[in-house]
Chain A
């Protein structure tokens, strides 16, 4: 297992509503817990992944995610069992949409 931390500042969209969990921790899949949190405007993401050594890939996927959504004061926690980058991106979008009710 490997734990990765990311923080993005300069987001502009606070998260409305209650925490949500999407996805399942199964092979090639992941769960994403998203919740509003007072983080001085930041968006913090913690990833616990079963696939070691993919930090650079995770960072690229998280940067793309932040560019799409520009979230602020949001905490995201991920339990991953080897999901591919495309699956991770889709789950992250699903997580935000489950709170906001739609695409950006």
Chain B
């Protein structure tokens, strides 16, 4: 058992893909760095915080990426986004078996302003283009920085989202909510609340992520392999899928719109001991959650 959370993006790749199979596009030696950060006299990174390339996953050709949460919180700048988009387009051109995105990002890199915003929207479009080509897109979220902002949306454009218990997935991050709406609305320093609200278990119970695993590289790899096979037929986004998603979200508002805390949501789902959920190990949690999860989301095919 080895922790996925503790690894850097570059270390995660050989743990998740078949050992030694990954070929990186635009490796650090190419020195494709952010022109915006240099203009601001800020530190750059030789890979602009993301590893992209092509490897084997269970002997299938799978294109992939890993975002480095340590560099500017994994935030997406122009180069970072362009690397993701280029990899996704090439996955279509070369008929990849699947795409696996190891996401860890606070969203748009604010230093790069509009270029970063455009980059993230291009990533979303590229993910949907991959799906339209019949290629499954699998996202894994298990890094310390979670997956927020535009990349949170991008994650939910995938067929399957795999999360660890420690992973977090949301739109606005805790500090953003507190800054915009006040500490009474959301106390970003309350770590238990933050994980209850954005963490893997809540996302799994609500159906926002389809697979929950312990923080273990082998478990994440196994989940990614299983997910590729599960969405082989029907990777494309359909009108029916979108309408089902809309109905699911409307139902969620009706069911839980007035709930102040995820504990209330879990109680309404029928979970017998909501307060005990955060302490459950992954296996015990999954055994308990199976009968209480809300309906499957758009990603589940």
A interface vs B, CB < 8 Å?
Answer: 1, 19, 21, 24-26, 29, 31, 33, 35, 48, 50, 77, 79-81
Q: In whole angstroms, what is the CA distance A79 to B43 when docked?
A: 7
Interface residues of B in 26-74 (CB under 8 A from A): 27-29, 31, 41-47, 68, 70-71
Measured between beta carbons, the chain A residues less than 8 angstroms from B31 are 77
Q: Are A1 and B43 in contact (CB under 8 A)?
A: yes
Q: Are A21 and B28 in contact (CB under 8 A)?
A: yes
Measured between beta carbons, the chain B residues less than 8 angstroms from A77 are 31, 46
Q: Are A19 and B28 in contact (CB under 8 A)?
A: yes
Q: In whole angstroms, what is the CA distance A26 to B27 when docked?
A: 19
Known A19-B28, A24-B68: A33·B46 in contact at CB below 8 Å: yes
B204-218 near A? 1/0 per residue, CB < 8 Å = 000000000000000
Q: Are B71 and A25 in contact (CB under 8 A)?
A: yes
Q: Can you offer 15 A-B residue contacts whose CB atoms are under 8 A?
A: A1-B42, A21-B10, A21-B27, A21-B28, A21-B29, A21-B46, A24-B68, A25-B45, A25-B71, A26-B71, A29-B70, A50-B43, A77-B31, A79-B44, A80-B43
Measured between beta carbons, the chain A residues less than 8 angstroms from B27 are 19, 21
**B179 within 8 A of partner (CB):** no
**B8 within 8 A of partner (CB):** yes
Q: In whole angstroms, what is the CA distance A29 to B45 when docked?
A: 12
Instruction: Give, as a whole number of angstroms, the nearest-CB distance from A92 to chain B.
Output: 16
Question: Which 5 A-B pairs have CB atoms at the shortest separation, nearest pair first?
Answer: A24-B70, A26-B70, A21-B28, A19-B29, A25-B45
Besides A19-B29, A77-B46, A79-B45, 19 more A-B contacts (Cβ < 8 Å) are A1-B41, A1-B42, A19-B27, A19-B28, A21-B46, A24-B8, A24-B68, A24-B71, A25-B43, A25-B44, A25-B45, A25-B70, A26-B71, A31-B28, A33-B29, A35-B29, A50-B43, A79-B46, A80-B43
Q: In whole angstroms, what is the CA distance A35 to B27 when docked?
A: 12
Q: In whole angstroms, what is the CA distance A50 to B45 when docked?
A: 12
Q: Are A21 and B70 in contact (CB under 8 A)?
A: no
Q: In whole angstroms, what is the CA distance A1 to B42 when docked?
A: 7
Instruction: Give, as a whole number of angstroms, the nearest-CB distance from A38 to chain B.
Output: 15
Nearest opposing residue in chain B for A1, CB measure: B41
Nearest opposing residue in chain B for A29, CB measure: B70
Q: Are B44 and A48 in contact (CB under 8 A)?
A: yes
Q: In whole angstroms, what is the CA distance A25 to B72 when docked?
A: 8
Instruction: Give, as a whole number of angstroms, the nearest-CB distance from B256 to chain A.
Output: 36
Measured between beta carbons, the chain A residues less than 8 angstroms from B45 are 24-25, 31, 79
Measured between beta carbons, the chain B residues less than 8 angstroms from A29 are 70
Measured between beta carbons, the chain A residues less than 8 angstroms from B42 are 1, 50
Instruction: Give, as a whole number of angstroms, the nearest-CB distance from A70 to chain B.
Output: 23
Instruction: Give, as a whole number of angstroms, the nearest-CB distance from B282 to chain A.
Output: 27
Q: In whole angstroms, what is the CA distance A19 to B29 when docked?
A: 7
Instruction: Give, as a whole number of angstroms, the nearest-CB distance from B83 to chain A.
Output: 15
Measured between beta carbons, the chain B residues less than 8 angstroms from A33 are 28-29, 46
Measured between beta carbons, the chain B residues less than 8 angstroms from A81 are 43
Nearest opposing residue in chain B for A23, CB measure: B8
Q: In whole angstroms, what is the CA distance A79 to B42 when docked?
A: 10
Measured between beta carbons, the chain B residues less than 8 angstroms from A1 are 41-43
B3-32 near A? 1/0 per residue, CB < 8 Å = 000001010000000000000000111010
Of B28, B29, B43, the most chain A CB neighbours within 10 A belong to: B43
